[in-house]
Amino acid sequence: MERRFEGKVAVITGAAGGIGRAAVERFAQEGAAIVAVDLPSTALEEVVAAAEAAGAPTLAIPADVTRSADVENYAKAARERFGRIDAFFNNAGIEGWIGPMLQYPEDQFDRVLAVNVKGVWLGMKYVAPIMAASGGGCIVNTASVAGLTGTPGIIAYGASKHAVIGMTKTAALELAPFGIRVCAVCPAPIETRMMRSLERGINPDEPDAVHRQLASSIPLGRYGEPAEVAALVAYLCSPDATYLTGTIIPIDGGRMAR
Ligand code: NAD
């Protein structure tokens, strides 16, 4: 494995989840110091152990990304411990309630937008000035193919991921003068807890049938693996991608080619 992040610092939110944990491992293997952020209730210590086993100095910061004080704190902690932030994987997200829009609970709608939209904005708001202070860096926001098309059953999630794409483009324009690139990745179904939850939400009696049906709707015939998303995020943050910003990339086994 190349070590493209030797001497660099990566902050990753949703670090205890499927995609976030894979990103922690990838950045650690490529030489970055890691700041792993997730809710206090999560297994962040396991994530730290995996990153340290790969030789990465790692700091775990429990935070709720909807709370500005928590977000400011994780950005500040990264600067105090490591002096800089070079890569920011702004990835924490929730699927929310699953069901028809006409029955969608208002409190669930508000929570999905708080985590997936406000949390992403707050992350950029507090991390970008630290990146700028050391000459720039790269922010990768996690959107979804649900940010590119309509997806019945998850109206709040779809709205939130469309918003992530809009914020990514705006941030790319505003932050370019500071040497900060901002991109978004749009995964199709990836093998994580979130998809198990969506499969159960779509058909509580036969989630495996939903898995088979969704997998067969993808040209490559399968869900993606978290490590495949992590590899793309690492590429975007690396010196191999220095002319990419405002770029919205599906990682979807061909799904958006239909
Ligand atoms: P996951 O549930 O395994 O991980 C999400 C992580 O975000 C969890 O560890 C969770 O604790 C954390 N989180 C949730 N709310 C938070 C909050 N308020 N503050 C801090 N952390 C919080 O799911 P995943 O599949 O790894 O999802 C990661 C990202 O990828 C999400 O933004 C999700 O919407 C997106 N995504 C996932 C898929 C997929 O198929 N799995 C597809 C497209 C996009």
Residue 41 CB contacts under 8 Å (≥ 6 apart), including other chains: none
pLDDT tens per residue, range 86-143: 999 999 999 999 999 999 999 999 999 999 999 999 999 999 999 999 999 999 999 9
User: Using a 6 Å cutoff on CB, does residue 147 contact ligand 1?
Assistant: no
User: Using a 6 Å cutoff on CB, does residue 142 contact ligand 1?
Assistant: yes
Pocket probe for ligand 1: among 94, 126, 165, 197, the residue whose CB has the most ligand atoms within 8 Å is 94
Q: Which residue, judged by its Cα, is nearest atom 31 of ligand 1?
A: 93
User: Using a 6 Å cutoff on CB, does residue 250 contact ligand 1?
Assistant: no
How do the domains of the chain map onto residue ranges?
9-188+225-251, 190-223
CATH topology of domain 9-188+225-251: Rossmann fold (3.40.50)
- List residues with catalytic annotation: 157
115 CA to centre of ligand 1 in angstroms: 10
Q: Is the pTM of this model over 0.95?
A: yes
Q: Which residue, judged by its Cα, is nearest atom 19 of ligand 1?
A: 64
Each of the 258 residues of the chain gets a pLDDT tens digit; together they read 899 999 999 999 999 999 999 999 999 999 999 999 999 999 999 999 999 999 999 999 999 999 999 999 999 999 999 999 999 999 999 999 999 999 999 999 999 999 999 999 999 999 999 999 999 999 999 999 999 999 999 999 999 999 999 999 999 999 999 999 999 999 999 999 999 999 999 999 999 999 999 999 999 999 999 999 999 999 999 999 999 999 999 999 999 998
Residue 169 exposed, middle or buried by CB count within 10 Å (0-12, 13-18, 19+)? middle
Report the C-alpha gap between 201 and 126 in whole angstroms: 34
Percent of the chain whose pLDDT exceeds 90: 99
Burial 93-110 (b: 16+ CB within 10 A, else e): bbbbbbbeeeebeeebbe
Residue 158 exposed, middle or buried by CB count within 10 Å (0-12, 13-18, 19+)? buried
